[in-house]
Structure 1
């Protein structure tokens, strides 16, 4: 599965800073800004001073882990009061997604429902800086943003080049305080982005290169980052793996793994990375018969060894400290068929999967994960 002859468009931030201490460089890049708006979450607000931003800084620090439409609209309303000439996302994927949308929409009259889908955002004139504080979503690299619709408990997905950052900053020091369990789950999320793009029916040789590099970095550094949060090399390696995963999402995107993870996030309020970690071994093994060569590359890069793939991949995640049983996260077995139907209906992702997956197949995966 590759498509060197298939046209694709690859978007990346215009400017990338990566390495210990690079957060401090943002101020020089932002020279001339008079009304910076920093969008953060509670834990990431502590890093605002490290950015050395100029001007009259406004901080909105109450973005929840899985923001819904009212949460986004509250931040958007605040931005319209501030009229920022620079928007800075400072946080994990949820924060960065909200920052993208705010930068593109605060000075217009479009609603989030107006821009759902590809290429519906009218434009953007406000500079956007994305400063990642986790290594998982790779949102700082891409042109997509997801917000939960409280009416349907599904994701409103927006895709546009107008959501692309002008600068992305990957400073591993900002991830030192991320707890081991979160480091593990977000790291597996980064890996899942790479693996799902790599084995995707829309896979492309160019994106395969980024995916391979990302998977290799996860295999080399995720265990180290979980074991020692201040391991600068491991943290930097994982931030780069996450960034590569974000690049993979643009022209290729994810597949069944992410489709199955979304109901776990909306129904159980599981963090996105954790939901993906629980699902990852099952979908990897499900797709193995139709993607044998690429799956073997994944297994080798992660050091899974020989044996049943689902079991070795499950052990890889569990050994990182991830609780892999849905039953331990509040799931009710009776709800699994409904969740399976919901996941199966996410065709924008399920249609990318290399192996057709029925509702019954999804139910069996949820049962195995229960």
Structure 2
């Protein structure tokens, strides 16, 4: 029984979910004097929906896959403004930066001081997280990822001080997300659930969240892709993403995300797309080690269950491709010459690779990249 392993589960102090729930941020923020909204240009227009009181400053230049330089720019803006309240409004990158800024803007600790678990001393500002995509589930957890600009490696920071005081899942904020992005981020949400579900560190309690998340993706992702204003489908996908975020805390992801990271840092692929491309191949690789759970995943997605790993790869690949995701690395600028280097880089991410249910060599990683090429 995986319940024999003790775990700690952190979730936001308050969760609001439903169409129009973005307006609750302003109610929650009553009394705030200086609110800093961290966002990106594409969704900055949603700030007015929050109904924020007091003095509000918007920092709208958080990039996808932010690095330490992007974080430093945001920290400088926050140090100048001295916010008592911080809002992360956007995708996972924005929410990760919001977590770090809420804890580090006074300069008492630098990023290099807090990489790893439980090194952040305190939080400086109240924190609300308002996702505008259904993928990362960053609003649910206490981790943040930042790219090292010198090495292109992902730096992971984890602290209960980064737990949100408020998380708001408003499906209306995702209406304008394009179909291809909806599809890729939705598969990323599913990958969080699947990798935790099949992990060596899987836990019975987290398996429950993973099953619910995978089931919601199977039920609602295609509908959300086909009709971006399908409120029920968008709501379902936001909840699937949130469940995936819960899975990340006490269990975390495994080889799938390790392989996706070089695609983000080297090819500059969006995080969701990188994970979607890798997902079928890692699921198939791990199938012999987790046959029953692989069958559950296939069934939840409406796919014919098979014990054949090649067929697992084909059927899940076809599922992703049918959503409009371009699944070939070669179409995204990858070259054969790059695969060996990416394989070594991914294999070295032991904090994730060591969670994988089946040992994966550098050659195995390169073969997966080749299969995805």
TM-score by shorter chain over 0.5? yes
> Are positions 1:348 and 2:346 aligned together?
no
User: 1:12 corresponds to which residue?
Assistant: 11
User: 1:317 corresponds to which residue?
Assistant: 320
Alpha-carbon offset, residue 25 of structure 1:
1.0
User: 2:88 corresponds to which residue?
Assistant: 89
Residues matched between the structures, number: 369
In structure 2, C-alpha distance between the alignment counterparts of 1:184 and 1:266, rounded to whole Å = 21
In structure 2, C-alpha distance between the alignment counterparts of 1:169 and 1:306, rounded to whole Å = 36
Q: SS at the partner of 1:4?
A: helix
User: 1:158 corresponds to which residue?
Assistant: 157
User: 1:214 corresponds to which residue?
Assistant: 213
Among candidates 331, 334, 340, match of residue 331 of structure 1: 334
Q: Is the 8 A contact 1:135 1:190 kept in 2?
A: yes
CA deviations on 1:58-81 (whole Å, 9 max, x unpaired) are: 000000111111011000010000
In structure 2, C-alpha distance between the alignment counterparts of 1:121 and 1:315, rounded to whole Å = 43
> Are positions 1:202 and 2:205 aligned together?
no
In structure 2, C-alpha distance between the alignment counterparts of 1:113 and 1:305, rounded to whole Å = 47
Q: Counterparts in 2 of 1:2-81, with a 5 A limit?
A: 3-81=2-80
Alpha-carbon offset, residue 109 of structure 1:
1.6
- Any unmatched runs of 5+ in structure 2? none
Q: State the TM-score, normalized to the length of structure 2.
A: 0.98
In structure 2, C-alpha distance between the alignment counterparts of 1:305 and 1:154, rounded to whole Å = 38
Q: SS at the partner of 1:43?
A: coil
Q: SS at the partner of 1:88?
A: strand
How large is the Cα RMSD of the aligned pairs?
A: 0.7
User: 2:277 corresponds to which residue?
Assistant: 278
Q: Is the 8 A contact 1:113 1:156 kept in 2?
A: no
Alpha-carbon offset, residue 203 of structure 1:
0.5
User: 1:138 corresponds to which residue?
Assistant: 137
Q: Is the 8 A contact 2:295 2:305 kept in 1?
A: no
In structure 1, C-alpha distance between the alignment counterparts of 2:92 and 2:291, rounded to whole Å = 31
In structure 2, C-alpha distance between the alignment counterparts of 1:274 and 1:56, rounded to whole Å = 37
Alpha-carbon offset, residue 107 of structure 1:
2.6
User: 1:264 corresponds to which residue?
Assistant: 263
Which stretch of structure 1 is more off in the superposition, 318-327 or 99-108? Answer: 99-108
Alpha-carbon offset, residue 24 of structure 1:
0.6
